[in-house]
């Protein structure tokens, strides 16, 4: 007679994975709730919420690991970096597609990439954008010191000092990354508020419509009783 398979270890692993997922989801909800909850020590205007730098900096490691999609913007920069390094090896449609990608997502300032990062981050988007800008500046420093810029390159003049150009691009990327990511977070919250207000208005209209129908049915019943 075959022995029954021991499933205790597999069950323990399943429970551990479930606990890990639950903890990760709880941290994400906590970070999102913290980003939406105003500080208690000062009033926060509805148009712009001033950042809480110390708290955001303390939570930054958790923020960067709270959502898997946050890996997408750095990957987009790495793809742009690889395409720039391969620029001389691509021809035809491949070169045209690569050039379009670099123009949209990698060429300083890579606003679309920074905007996406700020839209995904649950809070402290300005710090996420600044880190992404610093990473972009580092990648462009490698490109410049590798001598891959040309006279047709809109980023820099090949006769310019490499260190000066690298410093300029680093500051440019960090500045635009911070601003674009912060604006993306504000725009995301603005859309969320609009959706919530729309749902509240629809719920109010539906409640009024239900009350109207209820009153109408009550009036109809009273009319029937009078006719009897």
Could you report the per-residue pLDDT of 75-89, keeping only the tens digit for each? 999 999 999 988 778
Rounded Cα–Cα distance for residues 116 and 104 (Å): 12
Torsion of CA 153, 157, 161, 163, to 10 degrees: -30
Q: How confident is the model at residue 134 (pLDDT cuts 50, 70, 90)?
A: very high
Checking if the pLDDT of 151 tops 60, the result is no
Number of other CB atoms surrounding residue 220 within 10 Å:
10
Mean pLDDT of the region 178-185: 94
User: At which residue do the structure tokens 């009036």 appear?
Assistant: 219
**Average pLDDT, integer, range 110-132:** 94
44 vs 24, residue with greater confidence: 24
Q: Does 159 score more than 60 pLDDT?
A: no
Is the Cβ–Cβ distance between 66 and 33 less than 8 Å?
no
Cα–Cα distance between 70 and 120 in angstroms, integer? 6
Contact 77, 135 (CB under 8 A): yes
- Other CB atoms within a 10 A radius of the CB of residue 184 amount to 24
**Element at 185 (helix H, strand E):** helix 162-227
Q: How far apart, in whole angstroms, are the C-alpha atoms of residue 103 and residue 162? A: 21
Least confident of 139-143, 157-161, 175-179, 213-217: 157-161
Mean pLDDT of the chain, nearest integer: 80
Please, how many CA atoms are within 13 Å of residue 56, restricted to the half-sphere of its CB? 18
pLDDT (average), residues 59-87: 92
28 or 174: which leads in pLDDT: 174
Q: Which of 8-22, 35-49, 124-138 has the lowest mean pLDDT?
A: 35-49
Check: CB of residue 120 under 8 Å from CB of residue 83.
no
CA dist 219 and 217 (Å) reads: 5
How many Å apart are CA 31 and CA 34, to the nearest integer? Answer: 5
What is the DSSP secondary structure assignment for residue 158, as one 8-state letter?
Answer: T
Query: Which among 99, 135, 140 is positioned nearest to 117, based on CA atoms?
Result: 135
């Amino acid at each position: 007679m075959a022995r029954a398979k021991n499933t205790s270890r597999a069950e323990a692993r399943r429970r551990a994975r479930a606990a890990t997922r639950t903890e990760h989801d709880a941290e994400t909800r906590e970070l999102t709730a913290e980003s939406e909850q105003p500080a208690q020590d000062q009033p926060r205007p509805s148009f712009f919420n001033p950042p809480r730098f110390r708290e955001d900096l303390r939570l930054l490691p958790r923020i960067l690991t709270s959502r898997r999609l946050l890996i997408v913007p750095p990957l987009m920069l790495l793809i742009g970096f690889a395409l720039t390094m391969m620029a001389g090896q691509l021809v035809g449609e491949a070169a045209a597609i690569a050039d379009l990608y670099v123009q949209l997502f990698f060429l300083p300032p890579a606003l679309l990439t920074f905007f996406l990062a700020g839209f995904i981050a649950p809070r402290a988007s300005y710090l996420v954008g600044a880190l992404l800008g610093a990473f972009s500046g580092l990648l462009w420093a490698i490109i410049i010191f590798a001598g891959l810029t040309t006279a047709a390159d809109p980023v820099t003049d090949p006769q310019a000092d490499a260190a000066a150009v690298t410093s300029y691009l680093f500051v440019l990327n960090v500045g635009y990354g911070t601003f674009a990511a912060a604006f993306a977070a504000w725009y995301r919250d603005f859309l969320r508020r609009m959706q919530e207000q729309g749902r509240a208005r629809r719920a109010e209209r539906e409640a009024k419509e239900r009350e109207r129908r209820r009153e109408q049915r009550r009036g109809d019943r009273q009319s029937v009783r009078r006719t009897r």
